[in-house]
Amino acid sequence: MIEQKFKSLKEFYPYYLSEHSNTTSRILHFIGTCLVVLAFFTGFLFHDWRFFLAMPVLGYGFAWVGHFFFEKNKPATFQYPGYSLASDFILFYDFLTGKQEFVAKK
């Protein structure tokens, strides 16, 4: 369980990064977020609500496999759902722009 109480996304994000140090987990998070973005645009373009229903399964499915089997920690989603979701997209953007690498620096 997270002992700290975060009051802002700026405070939370460094903690989020520390919970995502495993390379496989980072790759799974990237894949999951990429599929969420793809499902969103596909659902919008084809006016098919099933793609929107698939978004949480795709995103959380990949991320939680990363946490439970590779990071061996509990996702922050359970205690900080909003900050965690926002951080997923920030990390995704950081991967795309090269600000973060898949192999975490320790």
Count CB atoms within 10 A of the CB of residue 79: 14
- What are the tokens at 3? 């002992």
- Determine the Cα–Cα distance for residues 83 and 86; give it in Å rounded to an integer: 5
Domain ranges of the chain: 9-97
Q: Which pTM was predicted?
A: 0.89
Per-residue pLDDT tens, the chain, 106 aa: give them.
Answer: 456 789 999 999 999 999 999 999 999 999 999 999 999 999 999 999 999 999 999 999 999 999 999 999 999 888 999 999 999 999 999 999 999 999 887 6
- Determine the Cα–Cα distance for residues 53 and 70; give it in Å rounded to an integer: 26
